[in-house]
Structure formats: structure tokens, C-alpha cells
Structure 1
Amino acid sequence: MSNRRSFLKGSMAVAVLASIVPSVASLADVPQRLLRKSERKARLRFAIASDGHYGQPNTEYQKHHDNIVRWLNEAHDQNPLDFVIINGDLVHDRPDLLSVVKKEHYDRLKVPFYAVPGNHDHADTRLWKSVFGYEDNFSIQKNNVGIVLANTSNTKGEYICPNNDFLRQELEKFKNLKTVFVVLHIPPHFWVPESPFVECPDTIKLLHAYANVKAVFHGHDHSLDSVFYTDKLPHFFDAHIGGNWGTAYKGYRIVEVDENDKVYTYQVNASQNPTLNENKF
């Protein structure tokens, strides 16, 4: 496992450098307490985090969740967030804990939050709706930006392609918006050998068919915190909240859309304090 992770990480770095060096402005060593104020007024600003694995044995999952809620609330106090997205694996093979992690942790966020299932949540549509109040495939629209969130697993924890009929329906609904984001816990493409993803060519084709889809956000692989591309479409990762493997730090990603529909995103290393992998597109 460690060898595969090292290979994946190294391959990711090569792919990213080859694809995005001309468009990347990099910031480093920016403490969370000094997170940047937007240079322009943000029409929409949100945080996205994933992979808390609440309840995983032999991990400090209570501490990890106390930390992420505190970090996100601090980020909101410094520069307001419109909402937070938790992109899958809220719990670790314990769907009975979904209501617990919601009530004891995410309900303490100062802003609304939305969650989509991951492969360790083992949740069906009925359970997801009973806990969160919406189904496991849903969309939101805020400040003229559309966000489509789709399930990429099942109650067995298998990796599956998202429901393309649902994606098409929601992308059609948002086709007149200038900016749309898609959130999928498990990525729909193999960028490197042995990656823990799933190959979904019809999904990729569908995403590419809508020019207003500006980015896709993924969790699942805790060792990734930057970006891959399918054609010109960026797919961003956000490291992890908890669990027992992945990047040495715990963190989350900030996404901003300005009044001209320019997108700005960067990764926050919340536990060790620098801002990482800043991108403008």
C-alpha cells in the first residue's frame, strides 16, 4: 500500500507540473490565522473537506472532528463562508454513526453544510435522507452558481460510477449558469496505474459536454491534495480530515467565485498552517 501511495503521489506531481505550471500561483507558509482576504469581492465562497472516517478504530477521530469544525469556523470568522461541503467517508464502515457525527460535530459549524456519501458510509438513499434531509444525489444553487453532488458508492462500499441520468438532468437545469461545479467522492477516471478510482468514460464525456462545468471535486484518496485534468477540466482533491493514512497534515480546500465568474481555489494545511496548491482558472 505504501509503495503504491508513493508511486501515486510522485506520478501526480509530474502530471500536475506538466499540465498546470503556467496557470499556478503558489503561496506557502500562510498560517490559518492569517488566511488571505479575497482580492476581489467573492460572489460565492465555500470550503470543501472529505474523509473524516468517524469511528475508525485506533484513530483520534473525535479530535480530528473537533479540529475540522474549529478550523472551518475560524476560517469563516476571518473571511465569511457561504457553506461547507463534506465530500464523503464521513464515517468508517458505521452508517449508524452518521447521525452522531452530524449532531455532535457538523451541526456546530457556523454555516450550512452539505454532505455526499463515500464508500465507507455504506448508506442508501433512505438513510441519507433520514439523517441529512436530502437524498444522496442532489444539487444546490447559491449566488448564481450551481453545484451538483452525486453518490459514487453503495451500501456494500463498492466503487461505482455516478448516476449519469441524474447528472445530465441537473446539468441541464443549470445550463444557463456561467459556473457549475460537480462533487464526486470517488474520481471517475484512472490517472495513474493502480489508483483507487473507477473508470467512467460516459461520465467524463458528459462533464465535458457542458462548458460551464468549471471543476470537479473529489475525496477518497487521502494522499492527494492538488489537481488532475481530463482534457481541460480540473479535478481537485482536498487531502483528508481523519483516517489513518494520507498526507501528513489534515486540511480542507477553499473555493471562491468572483463577480466575473473567475474561480480561485487553494488547499489549506490546517494542522500545520501553510496554504498549498493555489490555482486560478
Structure 2
Amino acid sequence: MRFQRRSFLKLLPALPGINLLSNVEKSPKARISMRFIVASDGHYGQPDTDFKTMHLDLIGWVNREKLQKGVDFLFFNGDLIHDDPTLLYDFKKTIANLSVPFYVSRGNHDKVGLDVWQSTWGYPTNHSFAKGEYAFVIGDTSNEKGEYVCPNAAWLKAELAKYADKKGIFVFLHITPAKWTVNGIECKEVIDLFENTPNVKAIFNGHDHDQDSTKLYGKKPYFFDGHFGGNWGTAYKGYRIVEIYEDHTWQSYQYNPTAAPVLNTFSGKS
């Protein structure tokens, strides 16, 4: 990665279980105002995988979370399907059993044209939405051929400016824009844009199935959530949870539904 030395020193891995923002302490009495889940890399239809069971497991876990603790929405951060565009309908039909609203981003294995994507989901591959005091911005990091591409920096800049009055912006990119993982890509303009936008609170990445931790560029956390499908990656299938509190503090942690559930907790302030 061809960063200048000063920028390179900003690329620091976060230690599991450590609050990286030591000056932020969440009040134990603070109530959750918003709670959402990020899951990625289901690879619906991948040969030689039990992809149907993997999706049914995730649906069960998320619906249970909804009943037990509440979930405002689920975000599928790319690689919804595995290469074959005709799988998109089956994927959409399968996740209709979710009891929570959901949003999606395009991954490199989602080899679907822009028109099909729009007609399937009702929004383009680059899109955003707001909920209350927070905004959520989703950038496309691939194309119909499945190539790795940097997100559209001009579009991102305009979207971040549109939400300048929000308490916080959370960004979703299937492929991480820093070459700090084997499968990351270098997008310095994008990563600097996030660093220089005060109310960008976190960036969520999928793609690297073996990554479930937090990495820092300057003061911005980049979260990875492992995978819930596919044929490689972390030894467990899981997802990431984000909880935003009424006092505008927030935390995120990786969740393993089958054992030692809470991993890599990170706390921040809006």
C-alpha cells in the first residue's frame, strides 16, 4: 500500500475486547435507541456448500435476536449469491422469512447488472438512507464482471455532505478500501475522505471471510464480520452487532451464536 509514512502509521489493528476510545465510557443506565446487525458473505448457491442451511441458520439467529433484544434492521454486506445471477431471486425468496427489515450491498460474487439490481431491490448499488439522527451510506465495490473496484469517491463525498447534520454516519463497503488484508484494495482517496469527515463513525467491510476484528485508520474503525456462508474463513459462522444508545454513545461487537458469543467489542461516541 503506497501510503506516505505518516498515513501508514495510522493503520493500526485493534486489540480484541479493548475499548479503543479510552475517553469514552458508556453510561450503564443508557438505553438502546437503535440496534442493527451486519452479516456478509452468505454465497447463496455456492457449489459444495450447505448454503441453504447456512441461510436458515442466520434467519433463525436474527429472528431470535429480534425477539430477545430487538433489531431495527439487518444489513447484508455483499456476496449475497455466488456468481450465477439467476440465484438472486432464490436468495430474495429465502430471506423473506426474516422478521426484520434488511438492506443489501453488492459484492464481487454478486455478478448482477445494475438494472437487475435496481429492479430486485428498488435502489441502486450506490445508495443511502437515514433513520432518525443517523445516516447509512452504501458504496459499490465491484461490477457485473466481479472485479474489485474502489467506491465512487465523488458520489461518497456528496452523500457524506448531504448528511453533515446527522449525529453519525455509518458506511458499508463489501471490499475494504485499505490494503491491510489479503483481499483488500488501495483506495486512498476514499479512506482519507472518511478520515476527514467528522461524523463518519465507522466503516463496515465483508469480503475477507477470515477477518472478524477491528482495524483503525486514524480514529476511524473499520469492522469486519467474518462470514455466515461460503467455504472458507473463520472457524465459526457469525455476524456483527451495533448498538446506539440514547446518550449517543455506541458499541459494536462480533457475535458467534454457537459458542463464546461476544468478540472484539469496540465503543465509540456520536
* TM superposition score normalised by structure 1: 0.86
Question: Out of 233, 236, 243, which is 1:249 matched to?
Answer: 236
Other structure's SS at 1:204 match:
helix
| Distance of 2:101 and 2:194 partners within structure 1 | 27
Contact kept, 8 Å, 1:141 with 1:147, in 2: the verdict is yes
Contact kept, 8 Å, 1:53 with 1:243, in 2: the verdict is yes
Deviation at 1:39? 5.5
Other structure's SS at 1:95 match:
coil
Give runs of aligned pairs for residues 167-246 of structure 1, distance below 5 A: 167-191=156-180, 195-246=182-233
Deviation at 1:120? 0.4
Amino acid at match of 2:55: H
Deviations 1:28-48 (A, max 9, x none): xxxxxxxxxx96322211001
Deviation at 1:220? 0.2
Give runs of aligned pairs for residues 80-119 of structure 1, distance below 5 A: 80-104=70-94, 106-119=95-108
| Distance of 2:161 and 2:65 partners within structure 1 | 33
Deviation at 1:107? 1.4
Question: Out of 50, 60, 63, which is 2:53 matched to?
Answer: 63
Q: 1:39 to 1:119 in 2, by over 3 A?
A: farther
The equivalent of 2:13 in structure 1 is 15
Contact kept, 8 Å, 2:78 with 2:110, in 1: the verdict is yes
Deviations 1:20-63 (A, max 9, x none): 845389xxxxxxxxxxxx96322211001000001000000000
| Distance of 2:218 and 2:193 partners within structure 1 | 13
Contact kept, 8 Å, 2:18 with 2:266, in 1: the verdict is no
Question: Out of 256, 260, 263, which is 2:250 matched to?
Answer: 263
Amino acid at match of 2:118: K
Give runs of aligned pairs for residues 6-155 of structure 1, distance below 5 A: 15-17=13-15, 21=18, 23=20, 40-104=30-94, 106-155=95-144
Contact kept, 8 Å, 2:18 with 2:264, in 1: the verdict is no
* TM superposition score normalised by structure 2: 0.89
Deviations 1:132-158 (A, max 9, x none): 111111101112110001110011111
Deviation at 1:264? 0.8
Amino acid at match of 2:66: H
| Distance of 1:250 and 1:81 partners within structure 2 | 19
Amino acid at match of 1:177: K
Contact kept, 8 Å, 1:73 with 1:109, in 2: the verdict is yes
Contact kept, 8 Å, 1:47 with 1:252, in 2: the verdict is yes
Contact kept, 8 Å, 1:44 with 1:142, in 2: the verdict is no
Other structure's SS at 2:13 match:
helix
Contact kept, 8 Å, 1:218 with 1:236, in 2: the verdict is yes
Deviations 1:167-224 (A, max 9, x none): 11110110011111000000000125xx111100100111112100000000000001
Deviation at 1:273? 5.1
Contact kept, 8 Å, 2:42 with 2:228, in 1: the verdict is yes
Deviations 1:232-277 (A, max 9, x none): 1100000101000000100111101112221111111023352111
Point out the structure with the larger helix share. 1
| Distance of 1:274 and 1:218 partners within structure 2 | 20
Aligned residues: 252
Deviation at 1:124? 2.6
